[in-house]
Structure 1
Amino acid sequence: AENSVARQQEEKKAGASSSSAKNSSSKTIRVNIERLDILMNLFEELVIDRGRLEQISRDLNNQELHETVEHMTRISGDLQNIILNMRMVPVETVFNRFPRMVRQLARDLDKKINLEIIGAETELDRTVIDEIGDPLVHLIRNALDHGVETPEIRKANGKNEEGTVILKAYHSGNHVFIEIEDDGAGINRDKVLAKAIKNGIVTGQAAVTMTDKQVFELILASGFSTAEKISDVSGRGVGLDVVKSTIESLGGTISIDSALGKGSIFSIQLPLTLSIISVMLTEIQKEKFAIPLSSIIETAIVKKSDILNAHNQRVIDFRGKVVPLLFLKEIFEVPVFEEEDEFYSVVIVRKGDKMAGLVVDSFIGQQEVVLKSLGNYLTNVFAISGATILGDGQVALIVDCNSLIK
């Protein structure tokens, strides 16, 4: 009996030590990203079939079929989250190399610079992480060289002689934002315009009517540089145009805000996942169009008589704001079969601080769809980001609200 008690105690100890070891090191496995892509593709097929099943169960109105399909929808939703999270990597992996780079550059430029990193645990799709490193390097070098002034100039302007560059990542909606903020000299509007006119990027007349934001975005044009002398860090006119094209190839956008003497913020907006999105399905005559929910503020029904004209553009008064209307029927040249009635269905969408109302014939409802690209033949289709296959086998085009608002 004593032996068996002793043995039990030994086993307990062994069990305890192995469980503590298990807690301290989490087991991981390396999987080729191509396999995850295949998994994602197969799952997308499942989502399409799920939509089809939902449609059939609605048509047949069979209770047992309803319940099974609902259960399947729930489970496939959880599955989708897991598959998407498998591809996610914290941006820390990219951010980690910047502190050393900033120290080195500050030494080369004879500047005092403090780099703050916020939100390094924010997660991004692996494919995006691989691509985003170089654009960020360019933007940080730009902030150090053009943004932050030398200690003497900062002192003379009554600032702390140590400049601060903040690199920040955060989630908002189904986008990830990465911001690079510096408390440097900001962007000199006149200097940028003078150079842009000299390089023939804009004409003198257009320059007068441009907003500050549009002027700042001129520095993203190719071959553009306001550096007086060419150094190892910058001044070759290569850099920001590459940044812009890389970010746009990932389906993201970059915007610039700046206050002269106070500093600048470069903000990069990237899509969280590139495949399954929630959309509002709408109908225009006999065609269906999907509008991503991430861009929609709300939907409204507008009387024909409430539409006003301003600067030969049709607008509505929406909660005290003037919102321009875009008639998708005209933009996409949809063949007309039936005449319109006196009410318009309007989807109010937003990009940044700009809003627009997309006029459709009717709303169908909200749905999760698989975003498929249009392939190699249809490369530059205006305002269409892709297509999806609906439950009844029809193809619906997915509207790209950003390019419509532009």
Structure 2
Amino acid sequence: MPFYIRKGLNFGPIRVNLSKSGLGFSSGVKGARLGINSQGKTYLHGGRHGLYYRKNLGSLRKNGTTLQGTYRNLTETEEIFTDTGLSYPVFNTQKSSLQIPALPYPANKKTLYLGVGLIIVALIVSVLWLKISLGIVGVVLVYNQMKTQTKENNFLTALYTLVHLGPEEMTGATWKDTVAKFSEKDRIVLASQVLPAWLEKQIQKEEIITLDEIKQFLPVSPELVTAIALDTYRDLVAQLISDHQLTSTEESFIQEVESKWNLPQEAFTEEQKLISQFKNLREIQFQGLPEVNFTRDLVKGEKPFFEGEGRLLNLRTLNTWQQDRVRYKEMGYVLDMEGRLRISNRVLEIQDEQNTRTYAIRLVDDIHLSVEEGVVEVFLSNRKNPLVISSPLLFEFAGILNRVSEMED
């Protein structure tokens, strides 16, 4: 989803976006969000790492029904966004593939049913040796299954107890008391299931424990501990920037996690770059805006604030197909212009070797920064569709344009 730089309010997982054209809403979790824009059109958006999915759900009437009513319009439209390589990537990382041991007691009711069935057959048959044989086999199968079920219940009870501990209870003594009757094999599996829950709980409670303390008593390999911690750390960063900003308090909390979990810096360089970008964006919003030098002459009264490389893109349909009454559209950006981007107190402009396109700053209504797609959408009051701009200085461009667009004439 785009990051709404200008006006917005957060209510838990729901975000309200304010613009001159009205109210928009969006809510959801990482990788999937449901939204209603200011025109009342609903959409579902999801995806990461260059491949994104958008499904248009239609427009809403005041009474809640859709404006679509004909058979032709009953066909749903689903959009798949493909990265064409024309936007500048901001964040490019993949979560690690964790190999956590599976639970040791998978449910197998077939064995129990087989055992019970053999016992029933043994009661029915009249041949003594067959009766005894089937009965013994049936009893053994039922006994073994009940024994396994008891172990499974004990394992799940211990797991439930451990994952619901508060940070202050995540101690060696608590662990030892809980797993005293378990085999070493079961303890290893249990620990690998417990550790992710413990780290998540620390994040939720904002009470971070030094990971070295936990390593001393949890029988988890150092490699798996680091992988789980990095995975949780990346989820934390994604969660904190999901409200479209990163406060100094949130940044300090991230640094505390990095320190106490002793995470290897080389493993989260992409996250650090993203955090740095959000920090710069925060500083742009609250600090003075310095003037820069333009590579062209200024007009009277013009103040220059940004110049850098950039591209003007257009979103186009690359391919379409229909299946099961669903129309699929593959969308992607194509290049319109590439050259120098400039922002002054008067205009936003892009200039290539031959042409210059200029847009008055006073016409800027909204600015949407999409980290996933690496673009800034600039909504102008005299245009139906937004300008789609990408730049190596994406955050700086978006932040400065936002500040300048809110300056009084």
Query: What TM-score, normalized to structure 2?
Result: 0.18
Query: What TM-score, normalized to structure 1?
Result: 0.18
Q: Which has the higher contact order (CA 8 A, sep 6+)?
A: 2
